[in-house]
Amino acid sequence: MSIDKDKIKHISKLARISLDSKKTDTLAKDLSSIFKFIEQLNELNTDKTEPLSSILNEPLRSRKDVVNDGKIREKILENSPQKNEEFFVVPKVIE
């Protein structure tokens, strides 16, 4: 599939992107080469190739979903200019 200048102009009009003629020429060449490469990839026989979820040949390890407070409450509250027991005090924003 080749992309010509007219298609580039039409797509840029639909996308409301302004392009000058120099950029139109460059884009047409670049997109045509991209589509040629995609066509080459489509010709490959991938019937016996299994999909990958990772490049490692290991199953993904599961971990338990445990909720905890991180045990750093005091360190976090040290960053607050004002605090009330265990909470940040912030200025009122609703009037």
SS3 (DSSP) at 30: helix
pLDDT for residue 54 = 76
Contacts of residue 54, Cβ cutoff 8 Å, sequence gap at least 6: 60
Domain ranges for the chain: 5-43
Tracing tokens 């589509």 back to the chain, one arrives at: 35
Global pTM value: 0.48
Rounded to a whole number of angstroms, the CA Rg of the chain reads: 28
pLDDT for residue 35 = 92
Give the pLDDT of the chain (95 residues) as one tens digit per residue.
678 888 888 988 999 998 888 888 888 899 999 999 999 999 999 898 888 777 887 777 888 988 887 888 888 888 888 877 778 888 888 87
Q: Distance between CA 82 and CA 84 in Å, rounded?
A: 7
